[in-house]
Amino acid sequence: MYHYYMFNKPFGCVTARRDGRFPTVMDYFKDLQNDRLSPVGRLDRETEGLLIITDDGKWNQMMTHPDYQKKKIYEFTVLGDLDPMNLQKLENGILLNGSDIPTLPCKITVTARSVLSEIMPSLPSEVQAAIGRNRPDHPVTSGTIIITEGRKRQIRRMMKAVRCCVVALKRIAIDDIVLDENLKPGEWKEMQNNCKQ
């Protein structure tokens, strides 16, 4: 019988089995003593949120293969002003640095606009140190983005292409699997097999 775990990945750990510098997501599953467990896809070290861990290799491949275009929803906060023109560029598909194929269309909803001084206390200290030289009144935009691809650091690169810098990123859903709001960063729970689609 296969196992499926919903994990709320915390900031600062890497999606890997072993790493010489940082804690890994698999460190959180050591007590299960199941060597067949693997993450479904990846989240970069600075990205938080929904990560599924399973020993079902076939299902893992289906969830991550580009052909299936699984919908992934993220909450984001960027330094910069996402104006209507840049939003349209991103939603229509944009060329990323180092790629000659534009991203697939996506859907972005802006939920808040503020300034850096308002959001700074909520950011990890590592991020605060990296962006601390910006003006306190630097514009900040928050929202949700829905993508169907999984290119390396895709959302960060998309935002950079319109002169915005991601300071917070959290995946909240993959298709109809939604992160349980009661799971704190670093916590996980077993999911039912009905996640097989």
What six digits make up the tokens of 65? Answer: 């293969």
Which amino acid, one-letter code, is at 22? F
Looking at residue 67, its amino acid is D
Same domain, 185 and 156: no
134 and 188 together in one domain: no
For residue 88, the one-letter residue type is Q
Within 33-97, strands assigned E span: 38-39, 48-54, 72-79
pLDDT digits (tens, 9 = 90+) for 164-191: 999 999 999 999 999 999 999 999 999 9
Residues 46 and 103 in one domain: no
Check residue 14 and report its DSSP letter.
B
Contact 15, 42 (CB under 8 A): yes
Q: What is the pLDDT of residues 140-172, one digit of tens each?
A: 999 999 999 988 899 999 999 999 999 999 999
**CB-neighbour burial class of residue 172 (10 A; exposed 0-12, middle 13-18, buried 19+):** middle
Q: Which domain holds residue 142?
A: 71-174
61 & 113 share domain: no
Q: Which residues of 88-110 are buried (b: 16+ CB within 10 A; e: fewer)?
A: ebbeeebebeeeeeebeebebee
197 band by pLDDT with thresholds 50, 70 and 90: very low
Cβ neighbours of residue 37 under 8 Å, at least 6 residues apart? 3, 5, 26, 29, 53, 54, 55
Amino acid at 11: F
Q: Domains in the chain: how many in total?
A: 2
- Is 103 in the same domain as 167? yes
> Catalytic annotation on 44?
yes
Q: Is the pLDDT of residue 66 over 90?
A: no
Q: Same domain, yes or no, for 92 and 141?
A: yes
- The one catalytic residue in 19, 27, 44, 81 is 44
